[in-house]
Chain A
Amino acid sequence: MDAIGDFLAAYSTTIAIVGVNALLALSVWVTLYAGQLTLGNAAFMAVGAYVSALLGRHLGLPFPLALLVGAVGSAALAAPLGLTVFRLRGVYLAIATLAFGEVVRVVLLATPITGKGQGLNGIPPKTELWHIFLTLAVAAYVLWRVQGSIVGRAWAAIREDELAAASQGIPVRRYKLTAFVIGALLAGWAGGLSAHVTFSIDPSDFAFTKAVQILVFAVVGGVPSVLGPIFGATLLTSLPELLRPLKDARDIFQGLFLLGVIVYLPRGLVTLAQLRRTRQLREIGATDVA
């Protein structure tokens, strides 16, 4: 037991970040599953992080309530944004959400209450490991149930062929928007949790690189299953720790790994588990990634 205790003590921050990243990967998975490539989740994470930290500091709101307001705030921002940007598809949608992310970052850089470029320091470390992993379990379970429900099937239909889905009477815009708002809610919640792990936040934590990183977690893990993004985030977050002996060559290895997955296992690492059952693989669809 001591060994486990020591391990947890030594690596508790890494373990917390693994959990937060898994939540973030799930947040982008929701839209990917519906076939939509969005890159705004780093910004939603920022909204959750800043709102919860500021509410705790200035209004003394209890931690769970501050987290909730942060997450709901993200979702509330996502709804009108989604209404506007879901007129776009594919690369255009990705670029529009990316631009939104940059706008959020610039607003954070220019607003006095968010500490401008310095960000916020001395955020109390209120997040416990069980907070993160309980949320992760709940989110994964709920999304897994949603995936099998009428909503999940509508998302899959939109992903495979949007026109065909619309002609079946599926309200495409509404389902896309639902996925987007759920994703923002999750990302906002994860942002609040992570701010209370890392002690300090600043706008550069939520830039383009972060948005891409979140996406990579989900894609490497694999979009066909909710377990994919969790697995991808866990692997890619702990990989730098495991690869520590490689030191400077770490990024090179990560890049080659990513390239290998996207070229040889386009539907992500979770498909490894399904390789034995190739017939089923064909059944879950011919298109890769999303």
Chain B
Amino acid sequence: MLEQLYNAVFIGSIYALFAVGFALVFSVLDVLNLAHPTTFMLGAFAALFAIATLGLPWYAAIVVALVATGAFGVLLDRVAFAPLRARNAPQLSSMISSLAVTLVVVRLVELRYGGDFIVFPAGAVPSFLIRFGDVTLEGTRLAIIVLSVLVMAVLTYVVRSTRLGRELRALAENPRAARVVGIDVERAIAATFFISSALGGLAGVLLAFAYNSLDSKMGLPLELRAFTVMVVGGMGSLPGAVLGAYVLALGEVASLVYLPAELRDAFAFGLLFLVLIVRPSGLFGQRSVDRA
């Protein structure tokens, strides 16, 4: 029981890191970045490259992954989002352009590393156990939970109390007014993509470390779960995304106990559908645009 709760909190932390990055872009720009799962996967592969090819230790690999995925996010914006934003294209267009980038990047990764599961070199990923009486817990997961909570606390501080945070909130509220009051809109958007993608990449490295496994399609299951998390928490709400992530993870672990294995995914999508029908604004949502 305790072990299952522990796993739920661990998975919830990964979902939260992933979904907060997703929600950040949506809240600022009103677009769904469908390349976010690819960024997640890239984070794990950047760490693999740092460890296996550059011979760096695991903590340096995390930094490499953060910087690499952040930079990828900025590039992604320039290639797939900026041209469409410039001519005010509808949401659908940027969903498709980010999907196109996904096709290219996943294939490039597969050309280098193949499409199968890969493990890190032996001993490269730290692994230790914690004992409480007769309960044994994996220490790596605890470290990941703590790290995720810290990262989200820093993000909250940045969005609430810094100049950049105020610029982002202004941009989310009204892009034209933000430009009028002298905010460098394109720079703020680049920062948004850097932070969002670095968070996605971090989630990817951490999950790959915890399971000691990575593959080119590891982002796919998270994509639909991130939708659930965002809708449950209210689209574009960052605290909502965090809460939604833990709700989903707890629900999934609980449903694993009571439901057959084939129905593992049913909880996430059932919940998503239900919330959309009953309370489309989610738990934390306020804006009512696009909802009749």
Q: A residues touching B (Cβ–Cβ < 8 Å)?
A: 37, 84-85, 87-92, 94-96, 98-100, 102-103, 106, 109-110, 116-117, 208, 212, 215-216, 219, 248-252, 254-256, 258-259, 262-263, 266, 287-290
Contacts and interface: CB of A to CB of B under 8 A. Distances in A.
A255 B110 CA distance: 14
A255 B101 contact: yes
Contacts of A287: 90
A175 B235 CA distance: 27
Contact of B90 (A85, A249, A288): A288
A251 B102 CA distance: 10
Contact of B280 (A88, A117, A216, A290): A88
Contacts of B292: 87-89
B60 interface: no
Nearest to B30: A91
A38 to B, nearest CB: 11
Interface residues of B, number: 48
B111 interface: yes
14 contacts: A37-B91, A85-B276, A89-B290, A90-B290, A91-B91, A92-B276, A96-B273, A106-B265, A219-B96, A248-B111, A256-B100, A266-B87, A287-B90, A288-B89
A289 B93 CA distance: 7
Contact of A215 (B96, B108, B290): B96
Contact of B269 (A99, A219, A251, A289): A99
B210 interface: no
B272 interface: yes
B291 interface: yes
Contact of B103 (A92, A219, A251, A288): A251
A249 B103 CA distance: 11
A65 B60 CA distance: 64
B231 interface: yes
Nearest to B99: A212
Interface in B245-281: 260, 262-263, 265-266, 268-270, 272-273, 276-277, 280
Residue among A90, A91, A252, A256 facing the most chain B CB atoms (10 A cut-off): A91
B83 interface: yes
Contacts of A96: 272-273, 276-277
A113 to B, nearest CB: 14
B88 to A, nearest CB: 9
Contacts of A90: 91, 290
B273 A103 contact: yes
Given A37-B91, A266-B84, 17 more contacts: A85-B277, A87-B280, A87-B291, A91-B235, A92-B290, A92-B291, A95-B231, A100-B273, A110-B260, A219-B92, A248-B111, A252-B107, A259-B97, A262-B93, A262-B97, A289-B89, A289-B92
